[in-house]
Chains A and B, each alone.
Chain A
Amino acid sequence: MKNIVEIKGLTKKYFNKVALNNINLNIEEGRVVGVLGPNGSGKTTLIKILTGLLRQTAGEVFIDGKPVGVYTKSIVSYLPDRNFLYKWMKIEDAMNLYKDFYADFDEGKFNDLLTFMKLEKSMRIDALSKGMHEKLNLSLVLARNAKLYILDEPIAGVDPVARDQILDAIINNYNEKSSMLITTHLVRDMESILDEVVFLKEGNIILQGNAEALREERGKQIDDIYKEVFGEWGDSNA
């Protein structure tokens, strides 16, 4: 199968601090990969390199066979872990911004997602709750017909009902031609939608594999493996 993402020997240092240490990771077409790890493990650094917001110190990153650049930005749809829309906007303005920016933005798909999320185009951004924000941002990101979707903590801090809607939207928009990379520390809620998992700890991949194979091999859920691997850290977010 074709790899959408190929990462070889990726290292990122901030001065003396090593944020990512010699990471190797391939993501095949049609796969949903979870990058799991507590805060400060290097998840966001990895994403910022994939999206071209940061440059690596060493190593190679290819997306759809090309080094990170103008082309890869046009095929990567990225959900940041913070709000990126102006407060004065209405949902409709946000949609128009995306339409202008991204040739692969599919308005029909966006409208369907809005309906599914029970959001209206006339709503003001600054009047949205945290859960609604997350739902809107995800709708914008999934409405693009991208090859790679990168979702940074898509369900952090939202209530269980919104969480279910978000998970449904992710599953409904799965397609065999695209891949997804999702970071989370809410493993229990996400694990049934992941094909593969990558455990990041202090910038190193300490465990990586097919989620079902890991469950079979260890007789445990990914959530329990996560607690075992990171438990000694006492990460209260897990």
Chain B
Amino acid sequence: MDFNENLPIYMQIMNLIKSKMAAGEINGGDKLPSVRELSKELKVNPNTIQRAYQELEREELVFTQRGMGTFVTEDIEVIKNLRKNMATDLVNRFFMEMKKLGFNSTEVKNIVLDWIEGEERE
């Protein structure tokens, strides 16, 4: 993974894990890799991984069990909310960019509808 965004690396790692949770690649109750494992995999300082896990815990997306590791929350509502928030963020960004390009709401709506139709035809 390349950490080229202008965001602190721990946030980029949080976003990576959040995406996997939202996409259902990792599910409620799943164990996350240990700090050391993820550090090796991503080639990132272990203290940075630790920080990412701490922040995820603060957001109540994961929990730590002493001596066992870090686990994804079992609260389905929390994961549902996470998905919804991530979707809202994406849509907001999309609309902002489209506005910058000079599209009005109707045009955007038609583009989106066309795209969905195309997708369904495939």
Contacts and interface: CB of A to CB of B under 8 A. Distances in A.
B54 to A, nearest CB: 12
A193 B44 contact: yes
A3 B21 CA distance: 38
Interface size classification for chain B: 10 to 19
B18 interface: no
Nearest to B4: A221
Contacts of A215: 6-9
A79 to B, nearest CB: 18
B45 A195 contact: yes
A221 B6 contact: yes
B46 interface: yes
Interface in A89-125: none
A169 to B, nearest CB: 10
B19 interface: no
A112 to B, nearest CB: 14
Contacts of B42: 192
B63 interface: no
Contacts of A174: 39, 45-46
B51 A212 contact: yes
Nearest to A192: B44
Given A192-B3, A192-B48, A212 B43 contact: no
Interface in A137-193: 164, 167-168, 171-172, 174, 192-193
Contacts of B15: none
Contact of B9 (A164, A168, A212): A212
Contact of A171 (B3, B40, B51): B40
A194 B44 CA distance: 8
B53 interface: no
B71 interface: no
A30 interface: yes
B47 A30 contact: yes
A160 to B, nearest CB: 13
Contacts of B10: 212
Contacts of A232: none
Given A212-B9, A212-B10, A215-B9, A192 B4 contact: no
Interface in A4-43: 30-32
A32 B48 CA distance: 11
Interface string B29-55: 000000000011011111110010000
Interface pairs A-B: 6 shortest CB-CB? A212-B8, A215-B8, A192-B44, A216-B8, A193-B45, A219-B6
26 contacts: A30-B47, A32-B45, A164-B43, A168-B40, A168-B43, A171-B39, A171-B40, A171-B45, A171-B46, A174-B39, A174-B45, A174-B46, A192-B3, A192-B9, A192-B43, A192-B45, A192-B48, A194-B45, A195-B45, A211-B9, A212-B9, A212-B48, A215-B9, A220-B6, A221-B6, A224-B6
